[in-house]
Amino acid sequence: MLVLTRKAGEGIIIGDNIKITVIELKGGGVRIGIDAPAEQKIYRQEVYDRICRENMEATQWNLADLNDLSSSLAGRKTAK
């Protein structure tokens, strides 16, 4: 991990198109600004961790649940 010391108004550049600027130091917190392309996804760590956890949970299908879903969908096709 790279650790840098920056003051308010100073920043860092990541790659060719991401700029992070320290906006304000206040009450033990740091406000940062991120200038990045619109297509670049940027998440707070806790949000990213939750997305990863939910994605992992979504891949843990129970075979009985999958069979029930399959039966339910098959029933919908014949009911039309």
**29 lies in the same domain as 51:** no
**76 lies in the same domain as 57:** yes
Tokens 């670049």 found at: 40
The domain in which residue 61 lies consists of 43-80
**34 lies in the same domain as 5:** yes
Tokens 């206040």 found at: 26
With cut-offs at 50, 70 and 90, classify the pLDDT of residue 50: very high
The pLDDT value recorded for residue 67 is: 83
**21 lies in the same domain as 48:** no
pLDDT at 11 over 60: yes
**52 lies in the same domain as 30:** no
**31 lies in the same domain as 58:** no
With cut-offs at 50, 70 and 90, classify the pLDDT of residue 10: very high
**27 lies in the same domain as 50:** no
Split into its structural domains, the chain has a count of 2
Give per-residue pLDDT as tens, 19-47. Answer: 999 999 999 999 999 999 999 999 999 99
Flag whether the pTM goes above 0.85.
Answer: no
**Tell me, what amino acid is at 60?**
Q
Radius of gyration in angstroms for the set of CA atoms belonging to the chain, rounded to a whole number:
23
pLDDT at 64 over 90: no
Distance CA 21, CA 78 (A): 59
**54 lies in the same domain as 25:** no
